[in-house]
Chain A
Amino acid sequence: MGKLVVHQNLVTKEKAPEIQSLCPFGAITYENDQLDISSACKMCKLCVKKSGGVVTYEEDVKKSVDKSLWTGVCVYVDHMEGAIHRVTYELLGKAKELAKVTGHPVYALMMGSAIGNSVEKLLHYGVDRVFVYDKPELKDFRIEPYTACFCDFIEKVKPSSILVGATNLGRQLAPRVAARQRAGLTADCTVLEMKENTDLVQIRPAFGGNIMAQIISPDTRPQFCTVRYKVFTEPAPTKEAQGEIVNMEIEEDKLTSAISVISTLDKPKDIDISEADVVVAVGRGAMSEALRNQAKELADLLGGVVACTRPLVEGNIMDAKHQIGLSGRTVKPKFMICLGISGAVQFAAGMKSSDCIVAINTDKSAPIFDVAHYAIVGDVSEILPRLIAKIKEGEANV
């Protein structure tokens, strides 16, 4: 790591405000003729680039880890009472790609109670070894015993990289384990690559998605990342089962918890926009009742669901479970139509990996056209009714 050094001898009263203004986080202060960097600093190093030598970055010598002792790309198997979350298969597909670069094995780690049948399913996704902790104490997800098993696995197997699905469960477990290992953890990665030296290259949107950050953990192992559902593509299962199941043991006293689960109930089934193959999304440019009804009609004709941007939720026009974006759901449909959506980065972050995106907007410079595959510069209220009429007509003629 390193630190920023301010060369006070180069700072003048006249120059100080200019240098202060370089910092997007307001972290540079100037008091009593001293230019200082406060804890608001995010180490973006823009001041190093732009201050003409007033602020420099100095590398520190630091302890390093023997990376050759850590091998394997591991996927945490996210499941609920044995029902495996599909993000697990997506991550196994990615793990296989990553492991190919370094020649490392692919591991899966599963913990729970009476999960034997589920473990078998994993053998159709190209794993070399599935490590299993099957204990009655692991029936319900409770943070302490799950963390204990995870750390027990890490100490015994020493995997180099660990991929965890960014589910509600994974988002609790991964940080807890990473903290105990004092290891790096990158949330919500959208791209993962492997370096030949086994450093996992983790790319994620930063600063609200305006910039992509490429992150590595060069001095710690294992390397943890979480990935949201539907970011990567699920591989087709192989016909033949392959890979070895390794049953793991752990001391009973590590499985205690201050938490006891009283009940686990299914949430009422709602329309889940993240599962839909076709999504018709409406934004501020299509928020009138008439257009929303037409959007719903179109979605029904295409066998899809209606979704929306944040302003419609904030305006109490649509329910939050329909919202796409960083503060809503991530969708990855096969086909998506965006109606009157400008395409703020927070929205785009939640839909840009969709297979085919069509955008209709009157503003030809709307950022939605940067992510769309098909751009239609035009008025939704004119195009939508015509499109619906054509589809209905086409169906009538069949």
Chain B
Amino acid sequence: MKILVCIKQVPGSSNVEVDPVTGVLKRDGIQSKMNPYDLYAIEMALSLTEQYGGSVEVITMGPPQAKGIITEAICMGAKKGSVLSDRKFAGADVLATAYTISQGIQKAGEFDVILCGKQTTDGDTAQVGAEVSEFLGIPNVANVLSVTNVADDSIIVTASLDDKVATMNIKMPCLLSVDGDINSPRLPSYKVLQSVTDDLIDIYSFSDFADQNPDHYGLMGSATQVERIFPPEKNAEKRSISGNADEQSEGLYQLIRERKLV
């Protein structure tokens, strides 16, 4: 089976600090890394191909530096990867991002299963996977826990649906967003790193895509618009319980009594 995993480069720490004076986001010392949720998807893809045969490719959208995570995925065992990178993709919301990735996937080839991580740690929306499947016109299931019984044209998956676990049969091609913590992602092999060459990484830009309407990409293709950004409000009505440990515990005890918790 041919599996494609959608991955993303995210800031190494989600603790992006905002300078209270200038309002500028501080990025000193923040490095990029692969979105941690994507590692579970890559691991699932690799173990499926080990069991049932086939190959794993990866795809990402981002700046040219996003090549780094493609290399990392190849070191984990992926065969090759694609980077979708173009100035025209800048400022994309969920809609435009998903559309761009769906165009890129069609460029990258045909796949039986497309895997996504549960969500990214920077955007945190968990929505792009489902929108990609819509643009590709294939079924999707989210919060996938396991894939078993790979047949010629279908697979059996289990997925978490809030307080239920559903087991279902899905025809391929399909897109699955896998849950976090479902396996132990393998470490990249540094032996493989020596042999990763640029020809294993395809770079696609707007001009490579089938849809040549620039209004469908980036900011132009986005339906949502950020009207303003502002710092989170701090709690105004704050009281403090001061004194030594005896006085503080007494103050807290009285509060608990007032609230009728004991």
Contact = CB atoms under 8 A, between A and B. Distances in A.
Interface string A250-279: 000000011111111111000000000010
Contacts of A179: 95, 98-99, 130-131, 134-135
A175 B130 contact: yes
A210 B231 CA distance: 7
A390 B250 contact: yes
A121 B17 CA distance: 46
A265 B219 contact: no
A175 B160 contact: no
A173 B248 CA distance: 49
Nearest to B153: A258
A211 B232 contact: yes
Contacts, number: 322
Contacts of B107: none
B169 A186 contact: no
B11 to A, nearest CB: 8
B229 A180 contact: no
A142 B159 CA distance: 12
B131 A390 contact: no
B7 interface: no
A185 B224 contact: yes
Interface size class of B (residues with CB under 8 A): 35 or more
B126 interface: yes
A41 interface: yes
Nearest to B26: A24
B228 interface: yes
B237 to A, nearest CB: 7
B165 to A, nearest CB: 5
Given A43-B91, A178-B95, A187-B127, A266 B261 contact: no
Nearest to A226: B127
A186 B224 contact: yes
B87 A302 contact: no
Nearest to B86: A39
A50 interface: yes
Nearest to B124: A326
Contacts of A226: 127
Given A391-B256, A394-B257, A143 B139 contact: yes
A22 B99 CA distance: 29
Nearest to B230: A212
A263 B166 contact: yes
B219 A168 contact: no
A29 to B, nearest CB: 8
A39 B61 contact: yes
A205 B259 contact: no
B232 A220 contact: no
A373 B226 contact: no
A141 interface: yes
Interface string B21-43: 01111110000000000000000
B62 A39 contact: yes
A335 interface: yes
Given A188-B124, A208-B16, A46 B24 contact: yes
Contacts of A377: 240, 242
B103 interface: no
B210 interface: no
A188 B17 CA distance: 21
- Of A175, A210, A219, A357, most buried by chain B (CB within 10 Å of CB) is A175
A382 B222 contact: no
Interface stretch (B74-82, B140-148, B193-201): B140-148
A37 B25 contact: no
Contacts of A264: 161, 164-167
B64 interface: yes
A175 B241 CA distance: 46
B122 A356 contact: no
A182 B95 contact: yes
A209 B232 contact: yes
A27 interface: yes
B207 interface: no
Contacts of B2: none
A346 B93 CA distance: 22
Given A1-B219, A3-B219, A326-B124, A38 B63 contact: yes
Interface string B200-235: 000000000000000000111011111111111011
A176 B27 CA distance: 34
Nearest to B88: A39
A369 interface: yes
A38 B252 CA distance: 53
B1 to A, nearest CB: 16
A215 B226 contact: yes
A318 interface: no
A45 B134 CA distance: 30
Contacts of B95: 178-179, 182-185
Interface of A: 1-4, 22, 24-27, 36-44, 46, 50, 60, 62, 80, 85, 140-144, 147, 167-169, 171-176, 178-180, 182-188, 201-202, 205-220, 226, 257-267, 278, 301-303, 320, 326-327, 334-335, 337, 344-346, 348, 356-358, 360, 369-379, 382-384, 386-387, 390-391, 394-395
Given A179-B134, A215-B226, A374-B238, 11 more contacts: A38-B87, A142-B139, A184-B95, A185-B94, A206-B229, A208-B16, A217-B223, A218-B225, A261-B168, A370-B235, A391-B256
Closest 6 CB pairs of A and B: A184-B223, A24-B25, A43-B91, A386-B249, A41-B90, A40-B63
10 contacts: A36-B87, A39-B90, A80-B164, A172-B141, A179-B98, A183-B223, A187-B126, A211-B229, A258-B170, A383-B252
Interface of B: 14-18, 22-27, 61-65, 85-91, 93-95, 98-99, 121-122, 124-131, 133-135, 138-143, 156, 160-171, 174, 177, 180-181, 218-220, 222-232, 234-235, 237-242, 245-246, 248-253, 255-257, 259, 261-262
